[in-house]
Structure formats: C-alpha cells, structure tokens
Structure 1
C-alpha cells in the first residue's frame, strides 16, 4: 500500500469516527449530524400536479420556518421529492427510490388514494413513517398500520357532512354522485352510501370517469337523467371542473359539492365565473383567515419561503403536515429514530397547531376530525359557511 493511499484511508476512517463515534448507536437512514432528510412522492406533472405542488409548497414553508429558527435540536429539515404523476405504478417506483436510493428518514405529504394504496406497504415493510398523506381513505385509518400518521379528517367524515347539510339545509331528497373510477372514488362512494343509509336514503344516480382524464360526458348524461337535487363529487380538479361546466351548459339547476382532495384553488381557477356557488368541503381552515394563528403563521412562512406562491387550501394542509413533523421531532428524547418519531406522536398525543388541534392515541392514527364547508364566490375566493343555500337560478 502506498503512503498516499494509506493517508487517504486514515482520513476517511477519522471522518467516519467524527460523524459516528465508536460505541454510538448507528443513526437511522436520513439522519445526519446537521440535518434530517425527508421524502415526498407526489404528482408534479399531469392533471393533478397542482395537488403535489401545493403540498410541497406547504411542507417547504414549514421546514424553512423551523430551519430559520435553528432547526430541530440543531438539525435542519430537508425535503427530497419524486414525481409519481398520480399513478400507482410510478408511485411505487418513486417511493422505493426515496427509501432505498435517497435513504429518507420518513415520507411526508404523499398525494392520493390509489398512489398511497400502492406505496404505503413499501413504507410499512421498511419501517418508514408515512406521515400526512393527502387522502381521507379509510384503509389508512387502520390502527394495524404501524407507520401511518394521518393529519386530516377522513372521507367518511366529509361525506357525512355533505349529506347532513344537503338534507337539513336544502331538503335534498335526490342526491347523485360523480366519482373517479378507482380506489379514491370508491372510498368516497362508500362514505356517501354510509351517510345516506343512515338516513334511509339511496343514491339517485352514479357517474364515473377514468383517473387522469377529463372524459366526463357519459357520466354527466347518466346523472342528468335522474334530475338530482345535488351532485356530490369525488374527483380531481380538472375532470370535476369539466363536469360542472358541461352541466351548466345543459342548464342543470343543482348543487355541486366537491371533496377536499379536488384541489379547491385549482378548481376555482379552472371554473372561473362558472364556479360561483360550488360547494367544497375542507379539512383545514380558509387560508385567508389570518385571525387563526396557524393560518397567520402559514401565510408568513409561505411568503418567506416562496414569495410568488399564492396561499391555498392544499399548501395550508402541507404546512400543517410539516408543522406536525417538526413538533414531533422536537418531542423525541435523545437521538431521532423512526420508531422514536412514531412513539413521540402517540405518546404526546395532542399537538396544538393554532387552529387545527391534532389528537392521537392507542388505536387512533388520525389527528383531526374537523370538516369545514366552503362556497366559491363570484370572484373565485372561498367563503366558510355554517349552512348551505340553494343555487341561484340561471
């Protein structure tokens, strides 16, 4: 061995000792002396890209806010993202790359039901925390899933709010559903059927469309035949907007109610003036209400991290997920490990984000049960409402 090569090996060994002293426990993947690396698989292209982009903006705002204050016990939080196009097969590949290639500590803010259904088992098998998925699917609320931490209310809770408001506020008797023909749509459908069965009701009509398309005409014609009082919608913003636009052209006098996953701000942009009166249920407060402490903090953090970004429901949810991660990491005693993170969330139980209280415990991996009803205004903004009113006659 040459003297030069020996010196290089000695230097490398010394660096290793400096980072990981002899006798110290080996750090979990993604944990370094100066940083903790998290991963997000989400759509950053295609018709659902606004959802992935929004969640990423909110996460980055929360992490930049924490990093500016010194990080978590001296470690800054970093985020690595991978585009899955809102397709299950791509999400599996992206998630595997984040876990095995990038060696992330945890997965945060994954987007979608079909994608989460495909990717979450990889995280479970690897013991990687799966935190704050942007979906209210019931299967992720199964307490047997040891690595899953939900922030938002479930789709069942949103569906219950829809049917309660439609029947009590508007006296709706004929309710139809438009939904994405996959596990996301089926999750929403199951919630609606449960809420209606509770009231002795059945759906007046059903219409479906294929994921990542806007082919909605057949669904619209099937639903229109039933002359529904209301149409509840379980879809992404592009196809949902197309459905509403075409329904307006056909002079359908009905109430349209969308699920939170739709991407509220993108839906309002797509609809323009035709969005007035459309209802969207939300799982976070209105992002313009700075009287709510979490919203005020979010708006300041977003402005600092991404001055050109516009506040919205999706990025506010991403911010809430990021805030939970930061608070949970701070609650860990000793060095951060994946197991310690999950234990900290369960053991601490309550996290006050300043307007969206989260509560966890044995058998309960969902932090919030809150559902907020909002209505799109003529200028494209959103108004929180306690009671629905009939749509204006055209």
Structure 2
C-alpha cells in the first residue's frame, strides 16, 4: 500500500477511518508514514533511492502479514531539496494528522529547517539521509539516525589521502549551504590535527551546476587532490570540466552524492573517483542484510538495480519496522518513539546498529569505494 501522490481523497478518508487514527496516522488496518524529500532535480536520485529502499523493506513486512495486523503505507512528497519548500510540506504532513512519522528525509539544509518543527510537534523523524552533527544532539528524542556522521566520512578521506597516499596539497569544492559547510568544517578539522590546511576552496550554489568559477580558483593552487561535498550533478560537472582541463588530481566525495547517480553522470570520466560510504557494498550478497535487501528489491521491482542509496533506505525501513513491532498494537507516536529509543543493539546480519541513552545514531561505519572505468565500484581495503 504505497502512494507517491500528495494528500487527496485517500488522505481525507483516513480522517474518518476510525477513532484509532486520532491524528496519529494509524487506523485499524494501516500505518501511514510520510517522506518529505527531493524527488526531482539535482538531488532527486537521493529521495527516490531512499524511497525505493524503504518501500522494499515495508512491502517485505506487508507480505509477511504487516505489523500487528496493519499494513505499512508510505507517501512521498517532493521538496525539491529546498528548505522553504520542505518546511511547507513538513508542516502540511504534521498538520494533516494523517501520518505516524517522517521517514527518510534528504539533506542537511532541509532537515535543519524541518527538524525543529518536527521536534516541537513530537513527530518522529527516522533515518534522515544526512550525516549532519546537529541531528545527533542527545536531546533530540524524536530523531533516529542510521548513518555515520559527515565528520567521520571526512576524517576517512584525510586518513587515506594523507596517511596512505602521502598527499599534502588538498583543495575542496563544497555546496554553499549548511551541508557544504559541515563538510568543509570536517575536512578543516582533520587537516588541522595534522598541522595542515587546505590549499584552496571553491563553492557553488545549491541546485545549480555552476561550478566553473570554483574550478578555476581551485586550479590555480595546483592541488594533488580535490575533496568534494555536494550533489551528484554539480560534482559530475566539476570532475568532467577538470578532466577537460587536464587536471591530474585525486577526486574524493561523500556518501550523500548518490554513488550510482554520480557514476552514471560521469561515464568514463568517473574512473578513479573515490566515494566514502556508510553502508556495505550493495552487491555483496555474502552479507545476510545485503542478500535480504536484494531479494526485497527484486520483489518490489524486478528491473531495479542495487545501489548504496536504496540499501540505506532498506536499512532505514527495516529499522522502522523493528520499532513498529516493538511498539505493539497500541501504536502512537509516543509509543513508537519509546520503542525506537529502547532498541539497543540491532543486528541485521552484516550491519550492526547500537542505540542507547543520549545516543540516537546507530552506525559509525565508513567504507571507501572507487569508481572503475566501467562504472562499477570497488571496495578499498584499509591502507589501499
């Protein structure tokens, strides 16, 4: 039971579905969840990828009889990766009283704008697709994070570039907003711990591919590596232009980029680009969680291909299902969050998440991968 549409006659019907709903998004036979995220534009593959993975997990649960006799329904609403639009849509979701929780929102600037609204309303916010540190604040009892922080990812970059490759001249391209500046801060901290600093900085405006000015500024410094914090379309444009200008540098970017989307945008120019990940390789079926994800994804859509974003969505969906089961039949936002907060250690078979008092982040794992010439991904072993 899924919908990609905005609230309409279906949503209106939920209001009169029975006294159990009571403005909580729960009826006698349905649990209604909402995703407010980018579904189109330069970050669209991230919202749709998260949706696909969550749907795979929710439909997997529905095929097994649902949660205490209820089926899970997911409505996804496009916010264009713009904070003002995300605020409007999030307020609409909360104000409707038709949803139990927000799941899988995408982006630092958007969640920074909407998290206070959700927190004030007591609306659960599960598995935001961002590693921003503010969402890990222990007082945010309505937020549950799956992934490692951006600080952990940027630390892994510098560990590799400096300690493994022996590079000293590192520049950065970042999206000029809260997301990009979080990445800039992480890189700066990791370098300062080694007595180093960036040789150049360049930025671009969110939801554009206007990166040429930043590239020309960075190029002047003759860096050995460029680390990049942004969405896949502008970063792909930056790398392709750099290749045309014969810049011989190591490119490194962040999990938020959307690895498959970036590789597809880059084509042959993607060869050698390094991407940090916060979930295992989605093709490694030796891991039980990946094998289960692949099966659920195929059951959802026989033409769907595995990817890092949809695997993260699947893990987020599975975690949500765990909390819903634990909350029991008397399901409210309060009982759901109490259940999520008391999950402790969740072992999905190859990906272990641990939650505790004041700790709303499940995983600290970061993996480095490299795009190959054919667009595939190779896991980089530590020290490689």
> Which interval holds the TM-score relative to the shorter structure?
over 0.9
Deviations 1:265-296 (A, max 9, x none): 00000000110100000001111111111111
Aligned residue in 2 for 1:182: 177
- The aligned runs of 1:311-330 (5 Å cut-off) are 311-330=306-325
In structure 1, which of residues 199, 205, 211 is the aligned counterpart of residue 200 of structure 2?
205
Aligned residue in 1 for 2:118: 123
**In structure 2, distance between residues paired with 1:346 and 1:198:** 34
1:381 paired with 2:376, answer: yes
In the TM superposition, residue 346 of structure 1 has moved relative to its aligned partner by 2.1
Aligned residue in 2 for 1:223: 218
- Aligned alpha-carbon RMSD (Å): 1.5
Deviations 1:62-121 (A, max 9, x none): 000000001111111110111100000110111112211262100000000101111111
In structure 2, which of residues 323, 334, 339 is the aligned counterpart of residue 344 of structure 1?
339
In the TM superposition, residue 174 of structure 1 has moved relative to its aligned partner by 1.0
Q: Which runs of 5+ in 2 are unaligned?
A: 1-15
**In structure 1, distance between residues paired with 2:23 and 2:151:** 36
Residue pair 1:28, 1:338 contacting (<8 A) in 2 also: no
1:47 paired with 2:51, answer: no
**In structure 2, distance between residues paired with 1:138 and 1:98:** 25
**In structure 1, distance between residues paired with 2:23 and 2:287:** 36
Residue pair 1:166, 1:388 contacting (<8 A) in 2 also: no
Which is greater in Rg?
1
In structure 2, which of residues 113, 130, 135 is the aligned counterpart of residue 135 of structure 1?
130
**In structure 1, distance between residues paired with 2:97 and 2:290:** 32
Deviations 1:329-386 (A, max 9, x none): 1112451121222222222211112221111111111100000100001110111111
- The aligned runs of 1:15-30 (5 Å cut-off) are 19-20=18-19, 27=22, 29-30=24-25
Residue pair 2:25, 2:100 contacting (<8 A) in 1 also: yes
CA shift in 2, pair 1:64/1:367, >3 Å: same
In structure 1, which of residues 139, 147, 152 is the aligned counterpart of residue 147 of structure 2?
152
**In structure 2, distance between residues paired with 1:229 and 1:79:** 45
Aligned residues: 369
Deviations 1:127-153 (A, max 9, x none): 000000000001111111121110000
Aligned residue in 2 for 1:335: 330
Aligned residue in 1 for 2:256: 261
**In structure 2, distance between residues paired with 1:174 and 1:26:** 58
Residue pair 1:232, 1:257 contacting (<8 A) in 2 also: yes
**In structure 1, distance between residues paired with 2:302 and 2:173:** 36
Structure 1 segments, 4+ long, off by >4 Å, are: 25-28
Which stretch shows the higher mean deviation, 339-348 or 265-274?
339-348
**In structure 2, distance between residues paired with 1:95 and 1:346:** 23
**In structure 2, distance between residues paired with 1:383 and 1:290:** 15
In structure 2, which of residues 225, 233, 236 is the aligned counterpart of residue 238 of structure 1?
233
1:294 paired with 2:289, answer: yes
In the TM superposition, residue 19 of structure 1 has moved relative to its aligned partner by 4.5
TM-score (norm 2): 0.93
In structure 2, which of residues 347, 352, 356 is the aligned counterpart of residue 357 of structure 1?
352
Equivalent position SS for 1:374? strand
In structure 2, which of residues 239, 243, 246 is the aligned counterpart of residue 248 of structure 1?
243
TM-score (norm 1): 0.91
